[in-house]
Structure 1
Amino acid sequence: MKTELEKCMAGENYNCHDEIFLGFKKTTRTLLSKYNSFSYGDKEEKREILGHLFGRIGINVSVGSPFICDYGCNIYIGNNVSVNMNCTFVDCNKITIGNNVLIASNV
């Protein structure tokens, strides 16, 4: 029998209130709260948080604040990526952003 996480990643119906997802959300909300509280110039601190939040993050990546996502760990970002402010990533499954990508505000 598949776990709720396995069902989710397979694109099947799953219980988003399962303990694994509640744990992901708690960790993610804490990291996002910290991330979104930093000023524009706090690039090293913001980069460190994104390193903990995302499944993978390349070099020369910027993500504007505020930024919102569900779990974070399902987001994989390549090199030379700019995500403008006020973006929401619904990462209940894998999101892969390649190299040399610009994402506009309010996406």
Structure 2
Amino acid sequence: MKTEKEKMLTGDIYQAFEPELVAERERAKAICFTLNQTCPTDREGRQTLIHQLLALEETVETDAWIESPFNCDYGYNIKVGKGFYANHGCTILDGAPVTFGDDCLLAPSVVIATAGHPLNPTERASGDEFAKAITIGNCVWLGANVTVCPGVTIGDNVVVGAGSVVTKDLPANTVCVGAPAKPVRAID
């Protein structure tokens, strides 16, 4: 029988308020709180906290930079390539893996949410939840206030315009805008 965490990580319906998951979210929230209270010029201190939050081994080097405030659910499901930058006010709900390629930029107030709930009100009220992985390619720029929904893949070199809502996969080398976001132009 799968644990609630195993169900979460495999995309099955799970109970998010199970004690192990609550404890793991509290760990991430405590690190986010400390990160959000750390002076922006304390680069070494902030890098240490980013390492802890993303559950990186000490031998793993990263140049990832996260501006405050930043919030996430678990942290350990967020994988970033080189050159990752998250601007102020970003939130990543990482019940499932969120994978970023190299040189990804998140503008202010981006929301990336792997979590969702059943449409059936009785199931939803019971605490049922699911999480679907999100993959973001290399050299992607998400504009201010972009929302990325569960299960989406965004190809390499994509620019998503401010305020867009990404509900479906977006092809590489495109500018995408709207709610839902759709390609409006190719990028050479």
Q: Distance in 2 between matches of 1:31 and 1:41?
A: 18
Q: Distance in 1 between matches of 2:94 and 2:55?
A: 11
1:58: how far off? 5.2
Q: What is aligned with 1:102? A: 105
Q: Distance in 2 between matches of 1:26 and 1:59?
A: 24
Structure 1 length-normalised TM: 0.93
Q: Distance in 2 between matches of 1:15 and 1:45?
A: 34
Moved more, 32-41 or 51-60: 51-60
Q: Distance in 1 between matches of 2:30 and 2:71?
A: 11
Same amino acid, percent of matched pairs = 29
Structure 2 length-normalised TM: 0.54
Q: What is aligned with 1:7? A: 7
Note the residue ranges of structure 1 that are not aligned, 5 or more in a row. Answer: none
The reply to whether residue 92 of structure 1 matches residue 82 of structure 2 is no
Equivalent residues, number = 107
The reply to whether residue 69 of structure 1 matches residue 72 of structure 2 is yes
Q: Distance in 1 between matches of 2:73 and 2:61?
A: 20
- Please tell me the residue identity of whatever aligns with 1:20: E
Larger radius of gyration between Structure 1 and Structure 2: 2
| Larger relative helix fraction | 1
Q: Distance in 2 between matches of 1:38 and 1:80?
A: 21
1:77: how far off? 0.9
Q: What is aligned with 1:24? A: 24
Q: Distance in 2 between matches of 1:72 and 1:64?
A: 15
- Which fold has the larger relative contact order, with Cα–Cα distance below 8 Å and residues 6 or more apart in sequence? 1
| Larger relative strand fraction | 2
- Please tell me the residue identity of whatever aligns with 2:76: C
Q: What is aligned with 1:51? A: 51
